[in-house]
Structure 1
Amino acid sequence: MPPEMVGWSRHGWVRLGEGWAGCLRSPLAEAEREEVADWCRAGRPLVIARGRTGDGAGELRLGLATPDKRRIGLHVAADAVAEHWRPLPLAEAVETAPEAWRAMLAELVLRALALGVRPAVYGSLAWQHRTELGYVRPDSDIDLLFAPRERWQLDGLLDLLTAACDGTPRLDGEILLPDGAAVAWRELAGRPARLLVKGPAEVSLRDLPSVLTLFDREDAA
């Protein structure tokens, strides 16, 4: 990854510039190209998706999700990007959530911050906040993203999320590992022998001790 693209992780956001179509690295169907063009003309962003093995340096995989749950994937050169943001902090999105959820989400933010971790959000709530369109439904999950650096933070987060997970809305999402990969927090909380881990461009299985050791190294640093 070029130095200027460090931090352009999954669940981040971009707004494409006017010449984005000339930066495509994989073709789009004509109807999809027109829809993306309309989306970009409205000033709406796209989300950064996981790359694929073989993608070139300075290339991005992006996603467009519509309120009716259609998905369009784009493969573009980073030169197409006019603006870039990191994953959306949950604190910024609380007021976008249904009113009945706000107190719980605000409390979750405070308790995560007390552990030294700033929670982010992706999925339907993030799309609704970024676009002002109607993505969140009564049965929507909240997809959360946490990046603990030390083992005590990880353990505290898993305890916090496990205690809150049976309420409404359902809390899903990922723990970002110190090496940049991610694992579903629910899976990690179950302490299975092997975990499905999502890397920047691949998905693999890792044994639990090797994942936990990443946080132990951070403690020792």
Structure 2
Amino acid sequence: MGGERPVRHDWVYLGANWAEALRSPLVPDVLAHITAWRDQGRPFAVARQEPPDQEDDLRLGLTLPDRRHLSLHGALSAVERHLPPPTVQEVRASAPAAWGPALDDVIALGTALDLTVGVFGSLAWQHRSGVPFVRPLSDVDLLFAPARWSDVERLLFGLEAVSRRHSVVRLDGEVLLPDGGAVSWRELALEPERIWVTGPRGASPRTLRELRALFPSES
């Protein structure tokens, strides 16, 4: 596989010899589901690595339409193709019509802040696979990667405003940090003293001051 290494929330298509690249065995039922999914030309979502993983290890997830979550641990060499998270513009046509106004406001917010807004979760699975995943009570899971802390503050203010205007769907998701970590935007908006950060390997609590310090100084 050429190009950048896949990271959490990215999407990958596995090559024909993927099973030979397994690093952890799969029970027969899980192997059957993963094989069938791959053979239908569908992608897998990249999960975070575990602390003991080597650089060429890859952790993948498969969420089935019945909400079962399957995991796959293999070598990076199994990847045939790699895609970033779909944008909210790309998935809009795959979303329920009732979500349209809320998604349009999210698109407008991203444009105003010059941010690409990615999507993960059920709507992304539905868009990438063509299989129905979204249910009436599904959330929209959004991804943002602001470059400055002032953009984080403007983003949180804007998301809270959009959420107040549109109760038909809950806007969830993560703010991606400069060091590769990610935090729930809703938790961040509460300005807690400590907040749970999901990193490229594992997760841990960090202070709000530590998160601010990751961004470049604006003084």
* TM-score, length-scaled by structure 2: 0.95
What residue is the counterpart of 2:68 in the other structure?
Answer: 70
The alignment of Structure 1 onto Structure 2 pairs a total of residues equal to 217
1:164-203 aligned within 5 A: 164-166=162-164, 167-203=167-203
1:26-175 aligned within 5 A: 26-166=24-164, 167-175=167-175
What residue is the counterpart of 1:212 in the other structure?
Answer: 212
CA distance in 1, matches of 2:67, 2:2: 34
Gapped regions of structure 2 (runs ≥ 5): none
Q: Secondary structure at the match of 1:130?
A: helix
Q: CA deviation at 1:219?
A: 3.7
CA distance in 2, matches of 1:31, 1:207: 42
CA deviations over 1:36-89 (Å, ceiling 9, x no partner):
111111000000001101111111100011110011100010110111001111
CA deviations over 1:82-132 (Å, ceiling 9, x no partner):
110011111100111000111220221122121011100000000000011
* Paired AA for residue 144 in structure 1: L
What residue is the counterpart of 1:23 in the other structure?
Answer: 21
* Paired AA for residue 64 in structure 1: L
Contact 1:117 1:153 in 2 (8 A): no
Q: CA deviation at 1:4?
A: 4.5
* TM-score, length-scaled by structure 1: 0.94
* Paired AA for residue 115 in structure 2: V
Contact 1:5 1:58 in 2 (8 A): no
CA distance in 1, matches of 2:48, 2:33: 22
Query: Which 4+ residue blocks in structure 1 deviate beyond 2 angstroms?
Result: 2-6
* Paired AA for residue 111 in structure 1: L
Q: CA deviation at 1:210?
A: 0.9
Pairwise CA RMSD: 1.5
CA deviations over 1:137-162 (Å, ceiling 9, x no partner):
11100000100011221111100111
CA distance in 2, matches of 1:91, 1:55: 34
CA distance in 2, matches of 1:173, 1:158: 11
* Paired AA for residue 126 in structure 1: A
* Paired AA for residue 169 in structure 1: V
Q: CA deviation at 1:135?
A: 0.4
Percentage of identical aligned residues = 43
CA distance in 1, matches of 2:218, 2:8: 25
Q: CA deviation at 1:3?
A: 9.2
Contact 1:118 1:146 in 2 (8 A): yes
